[in-house]
Chains A and B, each alone.
Chain A
Amino acid sequence: MHIKYESFVREPLVDGNKDYHQISEDIVSPIEGKPGRMWYVGFIFSVILLCFGIFSVSWSVYWGLGTWGVNRTIGWGWDITNFVWWIGIGHAGTLISAILLLFRQGWRTGVNRAAEAMTIFAVMCAGQFPIWHMGRVWDGFWVLPLPNSRGPLWPNFDSPLLWDVFAISTYFTVSLLFWYSGLIPDFALIRDRAKTKLRKLLYGFASFGWTGTAKNWQRQEALALVLAGLSTPLVLSVHTIVSFDFATSVIPGWHTTIFPPYFVAGAVFSGFAMVNTLLVVTRKILHLEQYITIGHLEAMNKIILLTGSIVGVAYLTELFISWYSQAWGEMAAFQWRIMGPYWWSYWAMMTCNVVSPQLFWIKKFRRNIPFTFVMSIVVNIGMWFERFVIIVTSTYRDWIPSSWAYYSPQWPEVGFYLGTFGLFFTCYFLFAKYFPVIAVSEIKFILRTSGENYKHKMAHIENQGAEEFYHVVTTHHEDEHHEEVAHH
């Protein structure tokens, strides 16, 4: 047996006097009960938004993209802004589930399930924008390398836009597999507890017949570890490739080598903000404060502070390099960003992304829930403006002054954006009702090292001297060893 002990310096990840059964009760009982009034209100509102989005998209497809505000100078308006924004948000889930798994961060277990769900829904929303931006969407399959009657003419494999198709579809698939392979044991728990026939049937189907044998778990852990190892470079590659959409072109403001790390940091920044937005509400409504503790929120706020600062450094680096290059186009592009007709978007971005996260240096703010909630929304407003600034204020004044233009969105574009909120929250509300919002089996796994009540039982170890502690550990292992030898 391994000694199960973690220092008191780390605060518990599971508060309260929990045992394994209590964990199942706390997390599964919201699924078994009727949803509250708030759930219905939120769900219906989301479905209405989704319907409005479907209407706006249908309108755009029927009348064509002339209904949008984009023009020949500014070809990528709100549409691609929203695409990059959503795909950025979709980075936090994999970061939490993969990178923090490799770094053995125990606190990820409280938030990984919801964050991964958020990732999948955000990628679904992101995917809508390039698809409907095609205009003639019925020809959309042309981006796939399928044998065809046009030659066969293949897509351009040297184009970042095609890399994006591969990156995002791979990212969606792998995130979904990672998420679902973790959900299977929890579905089996709901199935085994189920009192009604319908629930037993549905969760039995969803649990794939999982019974949790020793071999099952051994393979499950191997799968999770390798998928984490694969997802780590994957998540970095996805936003890198999104940044290539801009960086490989020769437009001032886009043509910079700093884009890949700067985009990835921004993606993590906005993703963690969205996780905070959702979890602050979810933990309250589902009474999960003992699993998603203030310590969890603080850990995420620290990551927001770190990535926000990286983003800030990237903005300043861009400005410096544009001056240092002494290239007319570069300098003008950044001067117009700051002082041109879109100055308000640049300063909104700077305030929300660079200045406001610095408040998280103060511990009191990091651990304050209303402040965390407000900040999480401010950050995502800032990150939306970042993409708007990059896309619109790099293109609205191009090389020929006669084609300089201004861009404002039209209602179908706004409706499309609102519709993706509808899609996102419809999915999230269904998830919060029918899926275990916290990874039950993973919480049980860490309970004896990180549960509050188990930590108290370890008090005597904490008070031991180093000699004594060493003695306890070594004799413990020696006993094991003798037993093994006797056995053989």
Chain B
Amino acid sequence: MSDTVTSVDADLVAMMRQVFLDAREKVEEGPLVAGEDLWSELDELGLVRLTGDEDSGGSGAGWAEAAELLRAAAGAGVRVPLGEHDLLACRLLADAGLPADDARRTVAELDAAGTGLAVPWASTAGRIVLLVPRDGGYAVADVAAGDVRITPGTGASEEARDTVYAAPAVTAGATPVEHRVVAAYRLRAALVRGVQVSAALDRILELTVEHVRDRVQFGRPLARFQAVQHLVADIACEAELARAATGAAVELMAVAGPDDPRTAFAVAVARSCAGHAASVAVRNAHQALGAIGTTREHRLHEYTRAALAWRNEFGAVREWDRRVAAAAADAGGSGLWPLVVD
């Protein structure tokens, strides 16, 4: 690891947050699922192709900035396929040596029969980057959304999670890619969700703190009860762990890249930590907020349901535990510490 220190300009982060908070305030009930208006606004601000090369219309930023953007949207209760478009679809096209244009994109990973399940945002995309099995490896095709059959669905995060079917003719001309391109895509996808979970947990903590300070029972704010304080403190601890672990993974993704085995390990660690942190944060927040927290009216569900949904996308929590365990077993007793620290 070099001595590179990645930190994001505070003004840029503040600007990102404000865009999403303003957008969210325009609707009564959340989460806000971004439409064309918000996408255009983000595009004008240079945020939809944040990590693209500047000579191909991108903003030339890196993973650190992209993670802040994901956090800003998730933390404001705004659903928008920025990660899917920029970090996953456009990046996968670039890795495959294929050109991209201004269309909004997502990635659909298809099985041998041409079907992809729970594809994020397919029903709102202009074009879809298909990742298909081919001759024991994989190939990539960039197709118009109209060229595939999309059966819309909605996940617990209230984002589009659609079924995509591509007929063999649609993917016949797909470009073969090395396995490392596929592995890198999956790792980026996993990290996108990890960052989103972490941002949701931070917001859950804020909402819980606000509630227990305002809500009076037995003549005093809930915050004055030690049992409640401990519920909230444990949310803070777990949210901090999720933030630290995802931050470490983002940094390795930025500095060392997805091919470095340390990045793969860090992403697995981040997903395990964030996934289990969500258990504590969601349980304790709902306990502290009481019945109001279970309603549509209260905003808590915009973060708790999303955190629980996101933590199992691109790999369930237990699967990430298992990957960390497998990496540890490979390293053995004497290799465990270097695996953790180097």
Q: Is B a genuine binding partner of A?
A: no
Task: Give A contacts to B, CB under 8 Å.
Answer: none
